[in-house]
Amino acid sequence: MKFDRSTFRRLALLAGVALASQAALAADRKIVILQALTGVASFVGVPASEGMKFAADELNARKFLGNDRIVYEVVDSASARAQAMAAVTRYAADPNVLFILGPTTAVEAIPSAGVANDAKIGMKAMTNAVSLLNAGPWGFISAQPPIITMPQLGDYALDVAKVRSCATIRFSDNEAYVDLERLFVEHTQKRGMKFVDRTGIKQADSDFSTIATRIVAAKPDCVVLFTLGPSAANLAIQLKQAGLPASVKLIGQTGLSSPQLVSIGGAAVEGLVFNSDWTPGGNTPASQAFAAAYRAKTGKDADNWAALGYSYMTVVAHAIKAAGPNPTRELIREALSKTKDVPVVVGTGRYSYVDRIPTYGSIFLMVKDGKFIVAPQ
């Protein structure tokens, strides 16, 4: 068959149109990863953002969104309310941004949720502070809230740790930790727990000598720490220095899931038990595969925050996919609110929302020989 020049031109034109049409079908779905890369919460924000990036890259590699791909921009909230709010305002004004994954803490996230709702952009914060939801339907929390986890922790303290008289220490300037402590106390008091001391501290505090002396004098069976890892480590050290007996059990919550708990606390945190989202190395085939792949790519072991970041990005990606071939901010918000049994690597492996309250199950870990292991059940 012979072709003249006009035929070749027509074929070339058709081929160009076909390529252009294929390219038009592929689109970038932009997500802003807004995390505390500096400041007091950076030990959470940095690994969380790394987990989120890892998930997005992996999803793109296996074409989870077909011809589309997730693109992301990582932004530092600096653990600061004003900077987080300014970032939400800035990126909400960019029509290419479909969703904001962050900020990190309740202090940043609660006021930022108001900004996100005014701008009508979805925002999934790392926090478990339910009050964030009051700002409107565009804000989501990511971690299981105290109404789910604190009864579990309280039952563990009473039924497994066998403690009956405790002291508590909480961050008084972080609403999420105030709620954690309150709900733990309310649940366990109904079952007969006595509290000999309840103390509030600030996240920037470091001298706990007076508190430690008072708690030791009260002779509790346990001390329950509603703080982040570095503060808990310092508290444990100063409690031991004040004479806290080895028989007094230290108990905590997911905020302690950080290598800094052990690196700072050393021998003082041996035996400490806390509820956690993540089992080091994974507790399911999917989480074990993630742990191996993460280490192979980064050279680091995935911690609690990296695993959560990976899982949260996975949940958002499922919402984008469920929003259809032309996802909008509104469609993604609606899809996210209907999240059910999305496979994740934390908890028991399935992530769902009910009235924007997340559930995915909990496990209990213990510090032994400077490592996190599964605690006695």
DSSP state string for 143-209: SPPHHHHHHHHHHHHHHTS---EEEEEEETT-HHHHHHHHHHHHHHHHTT-EEEEEEEE-TT----H
Q: Let me know whether 135 and 160 are in one domain.
A: no
End-of-domain residue from the set 227, 255, 276: 276
So what's the pLDDT on residue 146?
A: 87
Bridge-based pairing of strands 342-343 and 371-374 is unpaired
Band of the pLDDT at 7, cuts 50, 70, 90? low
pLDDT at 98: 98
pLDDT(363) > 70: yes
Query: Which of 255, 276, 297 represents a domain boundary (last residue)?
Result: 276
| Domain shared by 222 and 342, yes or no | no
Alpha helices (H) along the chain? 5-25, 42-61, 81-92, 106-119, 146-159, 175-190, 209-218, 229-241, 259-265, 285-298, 304-322, 329-337
- Identify the weakest region by mean pLDDT among 6-10, 198-202, 275-279, 280-284: 6-10
Indicate if 246 and 169 belong to the same structural domain.
yes
Asked if the structure places residue 161 within a domain, the reply is yes
Residue 374 lies in a domain: no
- Contact call for residues 175 and 131 (beta carbons, < 8 A): yes
SS3 category, 103: coil
Asked if the structure places residue 6 within a domain, the reply is no
Alpha carbon of residue 259 to chain centroid? 15
Scanning the structure block, which residue is given the tokens 């599964």? 374
Cα–Cα distances (Å) from 352 to 129, 186, 234, 259, 343, in that order, read: 17, 26, 35, 28, 9
CB-CB contact of 77 with 35 (8 Å): yes
Shared domain check, 126 and 69: yes
**Does residue 135 form part of some domain?**
yes
- What pLDDT, on a 0 to 100 scale, did the predictor assign at position 105? 94
- pLDDT, one tens digit per residue, over 73-116 is 999 999 999 999 999 999 999 999 999 999 999 999 999 999 99
**For the chain, what is the domain count?**
2
Please give the structure tokens belonging to residue 251.
């108990």
Rounded CA gap, 113 and 23, in Å? Answer: 35
Instruction: Say what the pLDDT of residue 25 is.
Output: 62
Q: What is the CATH number of the domain that holds 355?
A: 3.40.50.2300
Same domain, 191 and 213: yes
The residues facing 224 across adjacent strands are: 168, 251
Residue numbers of the domain that contains 161: 146-276
Task: Tell me, yes or no, whether 63 and 94 share the same domain.
Answer: yes
Q: What pLDDT, in 10s, does the model give residues 119-178?
A: 999 999 999 899 999 999 999 999 999 899 999 999 999 999 999 999 999 999 988 899
Residues 50, 121, single domain; the answer is yes
Assess whether pLDDT exceeds 90 at residue 377. no
Closest CA to 45 of 18, 16, 83: 83
Q: Note the pLDDT tens digit of each residue in 313-355.
A: 999 999 999 999 999 999 999 999 999 999 999 998 999 999 9
Q: What is the mean pLDDT of the chain?
A: 93
- In a domain, residue 257? The reply is yes
Q: What's the pTM value of the predicted model, to 2 decimals? A: 0.78
| pLDDT of amino acid 270 | 98
What single-letter DSSP state applies at residue 74? E
- CA 11/CA 255 separation, integer angstroms: 62
- From residue 253, give the alpha-carbon distance in Å to each of 19, 157, 203, 270: 54, 11, 16, 15
Residue 255, domain member (yes or no): yes
Strands laid side by side in the 357-359 sheet? 342-343, 350-354, 357-359
Q: Higher-confidence residue: 128 or 28?
A: 28
Q: Which of 239, 255, 276 is the last residue of a domain?
A: 276
What is the per-residue pLDDT across 190-247, written as a single tens digit (0 to 9) for each?
999 999 999 999 999 999 999 999 999 999 999 999 999 999 999 999 999 999 999 9
Query: 269 and 302 share a domain?
Result: no
81 contacts 342 by C-beta, under 8 angstroms: no
Residue 216 lies in a domain: yes
**How far apart, in whole angstroms, are the C-alpha atoms of residue 211 and residue 163?**
21
Task: Identify whether residues 215 and 185 lie together within a single domain.
Answer: yes
pLDDT class of 257 with cuts at 50, 70, 90: confident
